[in-house]
Amino acid sequence: MCLSVPAKILNIEGSNAKATVGGSIINVSLQLVENIEIGDYVLVHTGFALEKIDAKTARETLAMLTSMVEENPEDMIRFIEI
Amino acid sequence: MLKYLDEYRDKDLAQNLVAQINYASKKSIRIMEVCGGHTMAIRKYGIQNLLPPTIKLLSGPGCPVCVTSRSFIDKAIAYSAMPDIIITTYGDLMRVPGTSSSLLKEKARGADVRIVVSTLDAVKIAKENPEKTVIFLGIGFETTTPPTAIAVLEASKIKLKNFLILSAHKLMPPAMAALIDEGTLIDAYIGPGHVSTIAGSKIYKPLVNQYDISVVISGFEPVDILQSIWMLVKQIESGIPSVEIQYSRAVSQEGNLKAQNLVNDVFEPCTAFWRGLGAIPKSGLKLKPEYNSFEAESLLPLEIAEKPEPKGCLCGQILKGQKIPTDCKLFGKTCTPEKPVGACMVSDEGTCAAYFKYNDY
Ligand code: SF4
């Protein structure tokens, strides 16, 4: 029940939107969020968009993780040797 | 975006994180997740098996269905037996055992119990059935409360007279504090992702200050969880506990203010009864006096006391992180997801169900 899914907004009519999740189209209420545009990804929970998902932050987190791992190959090697 | 989701499941990235955790972790620590979504992901991806022996993962009271008290189900069942009542609920609640029945069994016997996916569907049912009284069972944490608040405001706006809420809505931080007060040994919490999307990371600050506990709010993909564990290990090794956000693509410090304001307009804190944890002051939400006409319990009063768990069921201790499902003699024998004895076996997010499904024992 607590599961929320990221969905892409397809169109908006007042405070209601249609969004795609894994190929199917769902109705989403936008009453809990502000400034949502077509093409945005939102986190949908029990039919309500809870928040916009920030693709830029998602990208940054992954870039940070990748570079962190590249920066510390020593640590990795040490661990693998243990 | 979905491309990024795939990357959050990237094997190499996960392996690298596991190596970093192994390298950084020196002290023995106990980390509890308090979100059923995390419990499920941790079991599904076998995350405990990737971690060094210094790190023990515990599951907490994070499944809204599991912490819902038996008396709440008993009340819903009692209402469903009254004439001209329609019970509306999220599907997960249907199979949760009350003292002697479940909503599903009552529905099979003819009670009008309907599953809704959104609170607004419940309002719609009330609009379409003016001769009946529609009761929506409001359960869940900070994430599910704003949709209930919207339903109440909508019902109030269109002056619906036949729409009521039976509220078991709960707040997460008081339960997190209650567990520590009770003596469950916890060094760190993996903070719930979607609760925090709404409430913001700020709600855990008092916990950190009072109990010197570390909190990292995590997303739900394997890389998210591993990165959160890595952040927690680093916090604990450095000796400076704080609240950090790993799930920054969906969580901010302030959270969703619009949703918070809606909840504050409609609800006020009250003592709530948690399965396993008992009564915790200020851990629940009830409708404010001005919305009393939507409150099922004041309009249709019921006297139903909390009953003990079924014999042998350890749900209470499991929800407190003091026992694991395999400690329960009924686990996998008389108690399975098809025939659950206790609440922790009902929802996919329940600890017993997650252990059973992913065979991680
Ligand atoms: S296995 Fe079943 S009976 Fe045992 S604690 Fe879990 S839910 Fe309760």
Gap between the Cα atoms of B35 and B63, Å rounded: 6
Q: What average pLDDT does range B126-153 have in this prediction?
A: 96
Enumerate residue ranges in chain A where pLDDT < 70. Answer: 1-3, 68-82
**For residue B283, what are its two tokens?**
């851990």
pLDDT of residue B216: 97
| Tokens 């969020």 belong to residue | A33
CA distance A14 to chain B (A): 15
Task: Please check the confidence at residue B184 and state whether its pLDDT lies above 70.
Answer: yes
Gap between the Cα atoms of B157 and B223, Å rounded: 44
- Ligand 1 centre to CA of B313 (Å) is 5
Find chain A residues with C-beta within 8 A of B9's C-beta. Answer: none
Find chain A residues with C-beta within 8 A of B237's C-beta. Answer: none
Residue at A52: amino acid letter? K
pLDDT tens, residue by residue, B290-328: 999 999 999 999 999 888 888 899 998 999 989 999 999
Q: What average pLDDT does range B241-254 have in this prediction?
A: 95
CA distance A51 to chain B (A): 7
- Our CA dihedral for A17, B9, B60, B169, rounded to 10 degrees, sits at 0
pLDDT tens, residue by residue, B8-55: 777 788 888 999 899 999 999 999 999 988 998 998 889 999 999 999
Question: Across chain B, what does the average pLDDT equal?
Answer: 92
Task: Characterize the bridge pairing of strands A5-13 and A41-45.
Answer: antiparallel
**For residue A62, what are its two tokens?**
């992954």
Q: Is the CB of B318 under 6 A from ligand 1?
A: yes
Whole-number Cα distances in Å, B228 to B89, B197, B352: 33, 16, 23
Gap between the Cα atoms of B250 and B7, Å rounded: 17
pLDDT of residue B227: 94
Of ligand 1's listed atoms, the one at least distance from the Cα of B352 is 6
ipTM: 0.84
CA distance B96 to chain A (A): 13
Reading phi first (left if > 0) and then psi (alpha if -120 to 50, else beta), residue B321 is in: left
- Ligand 1 centre to CA of B328 (Å) is 6
- The residue ranking higher by pLDDT, B116 or B276, is B116
Q: What is the gyration radius of the CA atoms in chain A, in angstroms? A: 18
pLDDT of residue A79: 38
Strand order of the β-sheet with B29-33 is B55-59, B29-33, B188-191, B214-217, B243-245
B347/A contact by beta carbon, under 8 A: yes
pLDDT tens, residue by residue, B234-247: 999 999 999 999 99
Gap between the Cα atoms of B55 and B49, Å rounded: 10
pLDDT tens, residue by residue, A11-28: 999 999 999 887 789 999
- On whether the CB atoms of residues B204 and B243 are closer than 8 A, the answer is yes
Gap between the Cα atoms of B316 and B322, Å rounded: 9
pLDDT of residue B5: 65
B303/A contact by beta carbon, under 8 A: no
Backbone angles phi, psi at B286, to 5 degrees: -125, 165
| Residue in B328, B333, B361 to alter for ligand 1 test, most ligand atoms within 8 A of Cβ | B328
pLDDT tens, residue by residue, B197-234: 999 999 999 999 999 999 999 999 899 999 999 999 99
- Ligand 1 centre to CA of B107 (Å) is 24
- On whether the CB atoms of residues B242 and B143 are closer than 8 A, the answer is no
- Ligand 1 centre to CA of B196 (Å) is 29
| Tokens 């499941």 belong to residue | B9
How many Cβ atoms from other residues are within 10 Å of residue B3's Cβ? 9
pLDDT of residue B3: 58
pLDDT of residue A70: 61
Write out the H or E segment, with its range, that includes residue B177: helix B172-182
pLDDT tens, residue by residue, B70-95: 999 999 999 999 999 999 999 989 98
Tell me the torsion sign for CA atoms B282, B38, B139, B100. negative
Question: Across chain A, what does the average pLDDT equal?
Answer: 79
pLDDT of residue B256: 97
Q: Would the CB atoms of A1 and B65 count as touching at under 8 Å?
A: yes
Q: What is the reported pTM?
A: 0.90
